[in-house]
Amino acid sequence: MRAAGTEDSIDPCAGSDIASFDVECDVIVVGFGAAGSTAAHAAAEAGADVTVIERTGGPGGAAALAEGIIYLGGGTPIQVACGFEDSTEEMFKFMMAACGPEPDESKISTYCDNSLEHFDWLVARGVPFDPTFCADTSMAPTGVEGLVYSGGEDAYPFDQIARPAPRGHLAKTKRATGWLLMEHLAGAVRDTSATVSLDTHAERLVVTDGRVVGVMARSFGRTVSLRARRGVVLTAGGFVFNDDMLAQYAPPLVRGNYKVGTEGDDGRGIQMAQRVGAAVRNMYAGEVSLPITPPRNLIHGILVNRHGQRFINEDTYMGRVGQAALYTQDAEIYLVVDEESYEPNWMGLAATWVCGSAGELEGEMALPPGSLESTVALYNRHAEDHEDPVFHKHPRWVRPLRPPLGAIDLRLSAAPYAPFTLGGLETTVRGEVLDLGGDPIPGLFAAGRTTAGVCAQGYASGLSIGDSTMFGRFAGATAAGSSE
């Protein structure tokens, strides 16, 4: 055991070393983001005396900075109002196919079964959803529309596996809606008896006889001890801002140049739990946004790698494109477009090269001679019939590319690769943190990106805030019902 304040003080403290605690309550929630706010709310609703500790000066976490999509389905009122049919079964089929390989079936099943109820819960907390659909992006619309396809549900191969339905729900405001979502979720916590302690940074867990009984934290420059009679809920984010952990567990993400999260996503929540024996899962996995759309008109173009080859159907979810690019294409990809499909994208990504033919263009781009020419010729041959038998882009996006052709540089040097981590603590659907032997660690709970959630590697926008807010609720309720 090391003294608090030394360079490495993530190891747990023994409860017996603490004569008296500065704060005593039933449930401590570490972090006031998407998962923390719902955990605190659920624990307080269950009658627990709750203290939320948050290292920054306010609520929100990574969710408040995010686009704020929440993945919900099974026939929500918004889906119905927009004319889409959906069911729990189709949602489950999609997620089992899209969240793999080897996704957590029990979490996905629970997530789908509770999706409609969770929608109602969010609405009851005041989150406003506009009953309109935006077809122009697989991420957040530029308008106030409340529904988008956010996971490639309407694209190959998922449109062959489950009936497509858009499930990306957004709180009603322009562009990034995470802040609005978090206003309502943090507001909901304030309506409970929970105490919120800001500028309070959890550093170590406190353990007595194998049970987690509290937290040591730094608050306004001094160390404070907090006692939790029922449980500690870790909702402290992921580890994308910890390069050592990325190198150890998820080397491809080290190169992400536009990391998604707050500096709080430094992995400390995961590490504190590991130091009391917690198991981790899927630590290699990361979502990588590559914000090519809107406008979706651009996906009439073709994505090519450094060999001048296509590598994915362009109409799939842009996060899937980003993952493929960073994990398997060495982050060297380009979007080739013609005049009809070209508009600068919403972030200002514009064509770097424009040429009269594919052959000229590949020369300018320094792609292998003949490679892009060959790719465009094959694509156009089938595109005359609105077909793409090679990568199965949907016919609605397939037409021949006519010179002049341009290319948008989507290499790491030119475009934002925006990763966050998907791996984390191994938990039950009730939010219990499991030890290396698969048994719950008494007194310890977790949710959000501190945990491995519904996604093993495949992702859809809204699944992180979705599983954070839902499993946050479950973890808070479970902690409230736990006793020494």
> In one letter, which amino acid is 169?
H
Q: Kindly provide the residue ranges of all beta strands, DSSP E only, lying in 142-269, ordered along the sequence.
A: 147-148, 168-169, 195-197, 200-208, 211-219, 222-234
Please give the Cα distance from 449 to 35 (Å, whole number). 8
**Alpha carbon 401 to chain centroid distance?**
34
Residues between 356 and 375 with contacts to a copy of itself, criterion CB under 8 A: 368-371, 374-375
- Residue 50 is classified by DSSP as E
User: For a copy of itself, which is the closer residue by CB, 149 or 327?
Assistant: 327
User: For a copy of itself, which is the closer residue by CB, 23 or 361?
Assistant: 361
Residues between 63 and 92 with contacts to a copy of itself, criterion CB under 8 A: none
Q: Which stretch binds a copy of itself (CB under 8 A): 32-40, 47-55, 305-313, 465-473?
A: 305-313
Chosen residue from 16, 106, 142, 248 binding a copy of itself by CB under 8 A: 248
Nearest distance from residue 377's CB to a copy of itself, in Å? 7
Nearest distance from residue 109's CB to a copy of itself, in Å? 17
Chosen residue from 151, 267, 308, 466 binding a copy of itself by CB under 8 A: 308
In 10 A of CB 464, how many CB atoms?
29
Chosen residue from 127, 456, 460, 477 binding a copy of itself by CB under 8 A: 456
Q: Regarding beta strands 70-71 and 133-134, do their DSSP bridges make them parallel or antiparallel, or are they unpaired? A: unpaired
By CB under 8 A, tell whether 208 contacts a copy of itself: no
CB proximity list for 380: less than 8 A, separation 6 or greater: 400, 401
Q: What is the dihedral of CA 275, 455, 249, 280, to 10 degrees?
A: 20
- φ/ψ of 49, rounded to 5, equals -85, 110
By CB under 8 A, tell whether 249 contacts a copy of itself: yes
User: For a copy of itself, which is the closer residue by CB, 179 or 284?
Assistant: 284
Of 249, 240, 234, the residue nearest 280 (C-alpha): 249
Q: Which stretch binds a copy of itself (CB under 8 A): 177-185, 211-219, 404-412, 433-441?
A: 433-441
Return the H-helix or E-strand segment holding 430: none
Q: Which stretch binds a copy of itself (CB under 8 A): 7-15, 71-79, 137-145, 408-416?
A: 7-15
Nearest distance from residue 380's CB to a copy of itself, in Å? 11
Q: Which stretch binds a copy of itself (CB under 8 A): 27-35, 290-298, 306-314, 466-474?
A: 306-314
- φ/ψ of 332, rounded to 5, equals -125, 85
Draw the binding track, 265-284, toward a copy of itself (x: CB under 8 A; -: no contact). ------x--xx-x-x-xxxx
**Under a CB-based contact definition with an 8 Å cutoff, are residues 158 and 98 in contact?**
yes
Q: What is the dihedral of CA 237, 241, 243, 245, to 10 degrees?
A: 0
Chosen residue from 377, 396, 414, 484 binding a copy of itself by CB under 8 A: 377
User: For a copy of itself, which is the closer residue by CB, 29 or 456?
Assistant: 456
Locate tokens 């704020």: which residue? Answer: 68
By CB under 8 A, tell whether 395 contacts a copy of itself: no
Q: Which stretch binds a copy of itself (CB under 8 A): 21-29, 193-201, 383-391, 404-412?
A: 383-391
Question: Rg of the chain over CA atoms, in angstroms?
Answer: 23
CB proximity list for 331: less than 8 A, separation 6 or greater: 255, 325, 411, 412, 417
User: For a copy of itself, which is the closer residue by CB, 242 or 282?
Assistant: 282
Task: Catalog residues that contact a copy of itself under the rule CB under 8 A.
Answer: 2, 8, 10-11, 100-102, 247-252, 254, 271, 274-275, 277, 279, 281-284, 307-310, 327-328, 368-371, 374-375, 377-378, 381-382, 389-391, 426, 436-438, 456-457
